[in-house]
Structure 1
């Protein structure tokens, strides 16, 4: 009886090893994943195999702006899209709130008439140009477009 139990356990172990090996032989590529899921908002680090395409899409100069953070990708309408965070480029969801933040209000009180409110104050995720009308923040309208999932469209480029 014990011999059959051990034989059964050995067979299960062998089957698990075979299935693991088969799954390792063909890992799903980003393009295959995006074709399967269509659209999702999960950020993933760009794999080495896609780095040349990302460099081509953004250029070496743009990649250097995101030094230390690394490019990320997600799926959009069945395509692989990538973003390189850093500098003014924010890869997260865009802030489409038309009302000024309390930080912007504080900035305008201490810098009345300023022609711009720095992104360090407004946040890199805003899509609007902000200035101070006297000591009151003024929304100068959008300067960036947002994709259907709520991300700044210009920051994300189709890779594959």
Structure 2
């Protein structure tokens, strides 16, 4: 048994190290993309077609990002400040296009949780057994489904988000036009 453990350890440790190095490289990849000029992000999207990596705001994309914001929020008034875009705007690639999303209260830019079973909703319903609505703080802001409580159990009442084919909320993402 000891020989097996030593033999297994001899193979698992290098494999684990290779995994950690690869994972570190994957984590570092978005930082490289962050520094890329605007045209490089548009070019990247044309080349890779689909990339679900959500990248942070880039000042080089300011004009196109503002246009995407106005498309998503046509009733918004005022001028977008650089500091607002830095904290709210994100990008990803879909169908060869660069898309922008603007995170906010109940506006998640992440891939959505399309699981019908929701542990947060279940826990909420244990303490509030007959609530008509389970709030987003309990379900998670990325939950696709809406819930109510019936006799202490979470029950799906409908869908809060229509998803695009990549699993993101359709109405939260708009194309960032090239100049």
Bin the TM-score by the shorter chain: 0.7 to 0.9
Correspondent of 1:38 among 41, 49, 52: 49
Correspondent of 1:80 among 98, 109, 114: 98
- In the alignment, what sits opposite 2:149? 132
Q: Secondary structure at the match of 1:29?
A: helix
C-alpha separation in 2, matches of 1:99 and 1:44:
29
TM-score (norm 2): 0.65
- In the alignment, what sits opposite 1:104? 121
Q: Secondary structure at the match of 2:91?
A: strand
Q: CA RMSD in A?
A: 2.5
Whichever of the two has the greater Rg, that structure is: 1
- In the alignment, what sits opposite 1:17? none
Correspondence 1:122 to 2:139: yes
Is the CA contact 2:148–2:154 (under 8 Å) kept in the aligned structure 1? yes
Q: How does 1:25-64 map to 2 (within 5 A)?
A: 28-59=39-70, 61=76
- Please state which structure has a larger fraction of its residues in helix: 2
TM-score (norm 1): 0.72
